[in-house]
Amino acid sequence: MLADLLETLSDGRLSRSERREASATLTAALPSDSARRAFARKVVDAVAERMPGAQERDAVEWLWDVIGLLWRDQGSSGARAYFGPKDPMVETLQALIRGTRSSLDVAVFTVTDNRLSDALQDAHRRGVVVRLLTDDDKQHDRGSDVDRLRRAGLSVAVDRSEHHFHHKFAVADGRTLVTGSYNWTRGADLN
């Protein structure tokens, strides 16, 4: 679906017929707001990759930020609810991480999903202050990405309690809270 849509970029225009076809395809394939937002982020990333220089890629990111401001419903709290596996949980978390500009505080039981770990590392490389708090025992589990994140320079702290640190939340830029029961693991979509 993404590749088909990007083919329409070759001439820099979306014709009426392309618009009709894309609208029908996207409406059928992306029934929820969260799915549409996650896909929109993929489109923006794919277009940015095609830009010849850093200035052009920055302009695409700026455009994404402006669109994000326009998408906000000023009359509501801005709260959104996502329920996996129906909603694209990993993509939603990746979009949150990519959209973070200054700070990201993550408190999770464990991190074993490389897609999320990679997104955290990318944010760190962009200059976002990323802090991770996790369970002291789970950091040693097979497949845990905690040491990899620590070696990459992210601030990592572990609880010092005899009890498991079973929280799952993140705070982006001091204003966006994500919380719930979703584990940041590869198997989370199966549970």
Return d(Cα 180, Cα 183) in angstroms, integer. Answer: 9
Pair of tokens at residue 74? 């000023």
Among this protein's residues, is 173 annotated catalytic? Answer: yes
171 Cβ neighbours under 8 A, 6+ residues apart: 103, 104, 105, 177, 178
**Cβ atoms of residues 86 and 108 within 8 Å:** no
Among this protein's residues, is 42 annotated catalytic? Answer: no
Return d(Cα 65, Cα 60) in angstroms, integer. Answer: 9
Backbone angles phi, psi at 104, to 5 degrees: -140, 115
Q: What is the dihedral of CA 96, 99, 105, 108, to 10 degrees?
A: 20
Given the residues 87, 137, 173, 189, select the one marked as catalytic.
173
Given the residues 87, 166, 167, 189, select the one marked as catalytic.
166
Helices 54-71 and 89-99, packing angle to 10 deg: 110
Q: In the chain, what is the straight-line distance between the N-terminal and C-terminal CA atoms, in Å?
A: 27
Among this protein's residues, is 163 annotated catalytic? Answer: no
Given the residues 42, 124, 167, 168, select the one marked as catalytic.
168
SS3 category, 44: helix
Residues involved in catalysis: 166, 168, 173
